[in-house]
Amino acid sequence: MTSVRLWTRDLHLYVGLFLSPFLLVFAVSTWVLNHPPAERKIPVPSPVESRTLTLADDAKVGSLAQARGILDQLQLTGEIDNVRHNTKAGRLVIPVSRPGELTTVEVDLKSSTATLSHQAEGMAAALVYLHKRPGPHLIQFRGNWIYMAIWGWLTDAVVYATVFVTATGLYLWWAYKSERTTGWVMLITGLLTVGGLVGAMVSA
C-alpha cells in the first residue's frame, strides 16, 4: 500500500470519526423536521419574573447593543434572536435562545422594568435549533452570542470536512479494485435517484 493511500486512509478515518456526532445531529434533526407532531405541544412557560433595570441613555433604543446591555444586567446569556421595539407602547421584546430553551424578556421602557418568561423546549427542539443555525433569516442578529458564532463556523467546517471525507472515500474506493463494479452501480444509482427527483420537481 502506498504512503499516499495510507495517509488518505488514516485521514478519512480520523476526520470521519470526529465528524460523526455532527452528522448524527443533522440526521436526527432532519427526521424531526420532516415529521413534526400533528399537534404541536405548547411548552409550559415558567412563572414570569419581574426585575428592575438601569437603562443606559447612550444606547440606541431597540438596538442589539442595548439588548445585550439589558441581558448583562439580568445576568442572562444566549443568542438574541431579534429585538422588537413597540414605540407606541414604549416596550421592547427580546427573545433570547439557547439550544432547546427560549427566554423572552419584555422591557417596559417607561418604568425600567423587565419581565422574564422561560420555556424549556426539549432535546428534539435543541437539535432542530442547531440544524437551522445560522440560517438565512435575520442575519443582522445572527452570531451575537459567541457560542452561536462558533457554531456557525463549525457548521461550515462540517460541510468542508464532509466534502473532504467523501473525496478521500472516493479515492479509497478506486484503490479497492474488487469493489469497482458494485461501486459504480451504487454511485450511478444514487446520481440517477437525485437527478431524477430534482429534475422531476423542477420541471413539473
Partner 1 sequence: MKSWLLKIHLWLGLYFLIFLWLFSASGLLLNHHWDFAEFWTNRRQTTAQHALKPLNTQSDLDRANEVMRQLNLAGEVEWTASRPTDQRLDFRVARPGRNVEVKVDLTAMSASVQDVQLNGWGSLRALHTFNGVGANATRAERDWNLTKLWTFAMDALAAGLVALVVTSVLLAWERRDRRRGAVLAFAAGCLVCGFFVVGLGWL
Q: Whose Cβ is closer to partner 1: residue 55's or residue 161's?
A: 161
Out of 4, 7, 36, 82, the only residue in the binding site for partner 1 (CB under 8 A) is 36
Out of 26, 45, 69, 91, the only residue in the binding site for partner 1 (CB under 8 A) is 26
Give the number of C-alpha atoms closer than 13 A to the C-alpha of residue 5, restricted to the C-beta side.
9
Which residue do the cell numbers 465528524 mark? 19
Which residue do the cell numbers 427566554 mark? 103
Out of 4, 61, 89, 198, the only residue in the binding site for partner 1 (CB under 8 A) is 198
Q: Judge whether 99 and 26 are in contact, CB under 8 Å.
A: no
Does the protein bind partner 1 through residue 139 (CB under 8 A)? yes
CA dihedral over 62, 64, 70, 75, signed as positive or negative: positive
CA dihedral 37, 42, 43, 44 (to 10 degrees): -150
Q: Which residues bind partner 1 (CB under 8 A)?
A: 10, 13-28, 30-31, 33-34, 36, 77, 98-101, 123, 126-127, 130, 134-136, 139, 147, 151-152, 154-156, 159, 162-163, 166, 169-170, 173, 176, 179, 182-183, 186-187, 189-191, 193-195, 197-198, 200-202, 204
